[in-house]
């Protein structure tokens, strides 16, 4: 790897080991075996480098979870696919705990770091479309209102699941719990109309 790639790898190691707030430019440069000046040359600033490391790490997580969703997509029943997909999401937090811890930590830095919110907002929109595509088993190429609406819901469910898992893994909702809750919410949105739900928490099909 070159200096640029070494800095990126070192930045993410620091994020996982020390968190966003405690990571210094010297920590990153030392871990990459380069000078402090290399950070400015390649990324402009330490914060830009850390955000880039986080975004790329999320991309790698997306590749991993995409494989799990692809496996779930082989199940014929759409409700069972939904359950398996969200169980896979929840299970992924164990291996990627550092990634999610940093994401929630970084939210507290937005007011002090100009430009950070804008950079994360770009990644947020891309993440929404990526999730919509993954759950539909297609490439993230479209930016339709329907895909964006799906992505907003998936992203909200994902962040909520991750936050609850970080507090207590036992409290993180399962796929069945998500499916049952959504069926009840759909009923509420339809003016109290009942949405049949099976004994295992799945919505009964006609």
The answer to whether residues 182 and 144 belong to one domain is: no
Span 92-97, average pLDDT: 90
Q: Are both 186 and 160 inside the same structural domain?
A: no
Residues 151 and 202 occupy one common structural domain:
no
Same domain, 102 and 199: no
Query: Which structural domain, as residue segments, surrounds residue 164?
Result: 3-173
Co-location of 147 and 186 in the same domain: no
Mean pLDDT of 113-117: 75
CATH code of the domain covering residue 14: 1.10.357.10
pLDDT tens, position by position, 126-161: 888 888 888 887 766 667 889 899 999 999 999 999
Residues 82 and 184 in one domain: no
Q: Under a CB-based contact definition with an 8 Å cutoff, are residues 107 and 183 in contact? A: no
The domain total for the chain is 2
| Per-residue pLDDT tens over the stretch 27-50 | 999 999 999 999 999 999 998 898
- The predicted pLDDT at position 181 comes to 94
């Amino acid at each position: 790897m070159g200096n640029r790639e070494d800095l990126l790898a070192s930045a993410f190691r620091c994020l996982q080991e020390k968190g966003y707030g405690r990571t210094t430019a010297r920590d990153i440069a030392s871990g990459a075996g380069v000078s402090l000046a290399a950070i400015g040359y390649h990324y402009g600033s330490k914060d830009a480098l850390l955000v880039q490391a986080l975004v790329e790490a999320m991309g790698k997580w997306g590749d991993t979870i995409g494989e799990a969703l692809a496996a779930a997509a082989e199940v014929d029943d759409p409700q069972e696919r939904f359950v398996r997909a969200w169980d896979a999401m929840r299970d992924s937090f164990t291996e990627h705990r550092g990634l999610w811890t940093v994401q929630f930590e970084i939210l507290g830095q937005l007011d002090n770091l100009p430009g950070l919110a804008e950079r994360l907002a770009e990644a947020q929109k891309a993440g929404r479309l990526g999730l919509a595509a993954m759950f539909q088993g297609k490439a993230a190429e479209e930016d339709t209102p329907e895909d964006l609406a799906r992505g907003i819901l998936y992203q909200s469910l994902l962040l909520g699941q991750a936050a609850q898992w970080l507090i207590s893994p036992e409290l993180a909702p399962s796929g069945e719990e998500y499916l049952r809750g959504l069926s009840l919410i759909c009923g509420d949105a339809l003016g109290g109309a009942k949405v049949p739900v099976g004994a295992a928490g799945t919505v009964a099909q006609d």
